[in-house]
Each structure stands twice: as C-alpha cells, then as structure tokens.
Structure 1
Amino acid sequence: MDLQREISHLFSAQQRDWEQLRDGISQLDNLREKEFAWGDDYRVRLQFNPARMVSTAATISKEAIEKRPCFLCEANRPAQQRGVPFMGKYIILCNPFPILRNHLTIPLHSHVPQRIRKKTADMLTLAEQLPDYLVFYNGPQCGASAPDHFHLQAGLKVPLLMQGDNELRSCLQIESENKNETQELFEDVYQYLHHLQPEETEPMMNVIAFTEDNKYKLHIFPRKAHRPGHYYEKGKKQLLVSPGALDMAGMMICVREEDFEKISQQDIEDIYSQVSMPVI
C-alpha cells in the first residue's frame, strides 16, 4: 500500500475513534477566510482559526519548555492517537488542530531539538511519497510550538501556498529533478543564511517542500524575528499573529475574531516586513 493511501485510511479510522480529531476537522469545514490581493501578482488568505490559539500563544522560553511534558513524545500523546511509521524513525500523525486538509504532524521517535540541517533528505523523501501534499518545517524560533522535539508537518496542496517569492517577503526557491542536488543547494543556502546570522544555532527560517512537474521544490523563507511587534502590543493595537511556514507562504492564521475583523492590508505588509529577512 502506498503512503498516501495509508494516510487516507489513518484519517478514516482516527475520525471514527478520536472525537478531538473529528471535531477539529469539522471546525475546518466552517472556518471563515478572506483574501487580500496585490494586483494579479500575489495574494494572502486570512484564516480565522481559534483552535490554533495553543500554538500561536505558545511560550517557547527554555524554562517553559523544560517545565512541560513534550506533547510529541509517545508517552505524552493522546491515548486515541495512532500513526503510520515512516522511514523507521518517524511516526505520521493526524493533527487535531488542522489548518489544511489532511493536516499531519511527523515527529521523530527521538526527543531531539528542532533542527532542519541534515534532515532535508527526509523532508524531500516525504514530499516524494506524498505527491498531493506540501511538507513544511517551522524553525525553533519561527513558529514551532515544540522546538525541543524535531518534527515536520504536511497537508494537502493549496496553490496559494506554492506561489514562491514576492515583494511582501523573501523566499529562496530551489528546484531540481535530482534529490541529491536539491539537498546540496539547500546546504549552500543554509551556509549563506548562517553567515548572515552567525549568533544563531540554526539560521531562522521556514521551509516548504513539494514535488511538481517531476521536480523537487524547496521554498525557504529566511526570518529575522519570531513574532512582529503587533504581537506584543496591548489593547486594541495588539494583533495576535505568530507566523509559521504557512503564514509566510500566504495563509495567515488569526486565532481571535477581533484580529480577523480588523487586520488590514497594510498590517499584513508590516507583519511580513518585521519578520522576513531580506536577502540579496
């Protein structure tokens, strides 16, 4: 059985047996969305998704992480949650707080920090075996709510999230028919970004991988900030937006209705300008 079919069967079984997932997918059917356009060139879709509050508001300080049990480790996952093994070292799980259709979380069995270097091969293999999916990575200071446990995420393709570079934010694009070449080009980008941020353990970034037209494609979003200033404002000035890979690609998540209602096109431009790192 191919991996996509296994995942389809997993979702069917998990929706039957796991109420939390069933509710999460049901809520996805009723989410409010609206789009902003910059001419015919690029768009951003705003999604009001209150179930994502836990992720958006996550405290990722060293002290907070050490105090809480890791929700990606097997011992701490919900009793009803089942998964599909991948490559002998990952488990593919249904995400009960979805943003995309068939939203997956793919943690390593090992409890090791969120670091993408040397794991792009795994990411590309997953994208290869899931041709209908986008695979994405949030860096430890770029949207990952579990920076202490390496994991990828995936969901069914949305054309909006494959639009690549635009004037709102930087996106370095790699594509090749050869997986090894794609990995080597990513290493070049990684070294370049590391040169720009030598003080960081890992250069701040989000990554999206997918296959299209018999090519491997990586979209790398360099970051200079975890969250925009709007996040830390008080009262009516606050916008509780904490960008991850999907936000950077073009689907911005609002967890509060007031933010969804008031956010403007200028706010979106400002958020991107604060968190995206310009590259030459």
Structure 2
Amino acid sequence: MSFEDKALALLERQKSNWPLLRTNWGHLDAAHLKRFDFGGFSIQVQFNPERIRSSAARVDKKSIEKRACFLCDENRPAEQEGLAFGDEFSVLCNPFPIFRSHFTISARSHRPQLIEGEFGTMLELSRSLPGFVVFYNAPSCGASAPDHMHFQAGNRGFMPIEDELEELRKRYGSLLSSATNCRMTAIDDSLRRFILLEGSNARTLTTAFEPLSAWMRKRNGGEPMLNILAMYSKQWQVLVFPRGLHRPWQFFAEGEDNILLSPASVDMGGMLITPMEKDFKKITATDIVDIFSQVSLDPEGFEALLAHLNASNL
C-alpha cells in the first residue's frame, strides 16, 4: 500500500469515528462557489463558514502565548489519529476541511513555523502524495498555528491555478533559468506574482529556492512571507508566492467595507475562502483585484527579487 493510500485510508477511518470531521466534511457538499474570469485565468470564491476559526485566527505573539497549541499531541482531540511521515512529522486529518481530502502534516515536536531547512521535506511529502497539492503558509501569510511547524495537503483538481498554470506561463511567464535539473519562471498575471520552480532533482530545487527565501527573509526581517504550493508528477512543480501584506485593509474595516478574507496558499492558488455569507454575496472582481494588489509583493519588489535571482546565476 502506498503512503498516499494509507493517508486516504486514515481519512475514511476518521470520517467514520470522528463526528466533528464527518459533519464538517459533509458540509462541503453544500459549499457555494462563484467564479470571476480574468485574462486567461479565473478566481473562484468558496463560502465555507467552518473556516472562520482559521480566517479570523489571532496570530499575534500575545494571543499565541495565551492559547494551548492545537497541533501538539497533548492538546489534540482524542479522536484525532496520526500517520507517521518519517521520524519528525505526522499526517492528520483536518477537521475543518476546504478540500474533500484535506490533511495537516504536523511536526511531532513543538517548533516554530519556518521553511528554512524544511523545503526538502516539503518536496518529499509531495512526492509521497502525488494526488495532492502540498502547501506551506508562513507565519504572517495564513498559518493559524505560527508557533508549530506544519504543512497542509489537499486533493488535486480543486485550485484553479492547477489547470491554468500552462496558460499563465504562456501569457505572463518570463524564463529566468533553464538549467538541466531546474527550470525557473517568473509569472506576473497582474493579480499575483510568483516564481515557478520545476525539476526532478530535489537537491537542485532546494538550492534554487534558497536565494529566493533569503532575499525575502532579509526584506521581511524574519521568516520570509511566502505561500508555497508543491505538486509532483514525474517531476516537481513548486509555486512560490512572495507576499506584501498578511491581510488586506478590508479585513480590519468595519461596517459595509468589511470583508473577512485572510489570504493564504489556497487563495493564492485561485480559490478564495470566505467564512461569512455576506462577503461571499457581495465580493466583486474589483474587490478581488484590490485585495491581491495589497497582499502580493508589489511590482517594484518583484523586479528587485528577479534581479537578485538573476545575479545568483541560477
């Protein structure tokens, strides 16, 4: 039995013996979707009220220190089982799913959410789960547990960017490097600016990722503000989204201007998650453009990043 088959078997078992997961998984059947078309790509919006815990999570230092870490073994629900991935991680079923198959891959020890030293783990995880997109949210880019290292994984075929990637490359891509073991492309579709890494050698991809991560770390003065999507099918495709802001001004606004949207990897992949029905109903294409313009790295910053990557002779 493959590792992916074991993970799917875990999900089926948990749906039968964990009422919270079974109930919230069932709610996905009634999730509402709407679509906005842009130039060669689309952004979809999902109304998912169970995601309010994540979207509205308080992730400031004081709030984190006050609450028990929900990814530590001693604080997890008694019903939640785990599947070991190597010696340091456990695959857990996410009880508040966005995807039909949604896992959180949590470090067994309590340590901060840091991609440094763990990018290779992310690649191996995506190779072990080829039917999934593995994703990483930095502490200030959507991670609701910024104090505990974790990845997530969701079934393929859910985020619009999966099917639109080749068209995005064709229309908006600029080749930065075409080395044998690593192809690097910069893509700017006017809403999102990201780097696409492709290759079949994990070490080469990790080496290519390091200057990108280091530049963002220097810019941010700490853990780089990144959302990362990783997929594997004979070779890896890794989408790295450098971020400008954690949350848009609409998140903090009051009254009619408020839109409770806290973009993370899935949102950058073209599926915006709105836990409030009012926001699902009223959000417009203009709102979407404005929100992405705030949370994506700005054009000047992206150009500076590309200059740094070109200078790194990748």
Same fold (TM > 0.5):
yes
Look up the match of 2:190.
Answer: 167
Look up the match of 2:229.
Answer: 208
**Cα offset, 1:2, TM superposition:** 1.0
Look up the match of 2:239.
Answer: 219
Give the counterpart of 1:176 among 199, 204, 217. 199
**Cα offset, 1:150, TM superposition:** 0.4
SS at match of 1:220: strand
Structure 1 gaps of 5+ residues are: none
- Note the 1:139-154 alignment, pairs <5 A: 139-154=138-153
Distance 2:136 2:219 in 1: 20
| 2:8 alignment partner AA | S
**Percent of aligned positions that are identical:** 41
Distance 1:100 1:120 in 2: 23
Does the 8 Å contact 1:171/1:220 carry over to 2? yes
SS at match of 2:104: strand
Look up the match of 1:9.
Answer: 9
Distance 2:218 2:13 in 1: 47
Look up the match of 1:124.
Answer: 123
SS at match of 2:105: strand
Distance 2:94 2:134 in 1: 13
Distance 1:143 1:102 in 2: 19
Look up the match of 1:53.
Answer: 52
SS at match of 1:171: strand
Does the 8 Å contact 1:35/1:46 carry over to 2? yes
Does the 8 Å contact 1:161/1:246 carry over to 2? no
| 1:45 alignment partner AA | Q
Distance 2:255 2:225 in 1: 29
Structure 1 residue ranges, 4+ long, deviating more than 3 angstroms after superposition: none
Distance 1:175 1:270 in 2: 30
CA RMSD in angstroms comes to: 1.1
| 2:228 alignment partner AA | V
Distance 2:226 2:105 in 1: 18
Give the counterpart of 2:248 among 228, 238, 242. 228
Q: How many residues align?
A: 276
| 1:22 alignment partner AA | R
- Note the 1:76-91 alignment, pairs <5 A: 76-91=75-90
Distance 1:11 1:204 in 2: 31
Distance 2:116 2:160 in 1: 26
SS at match of 2:30: coil
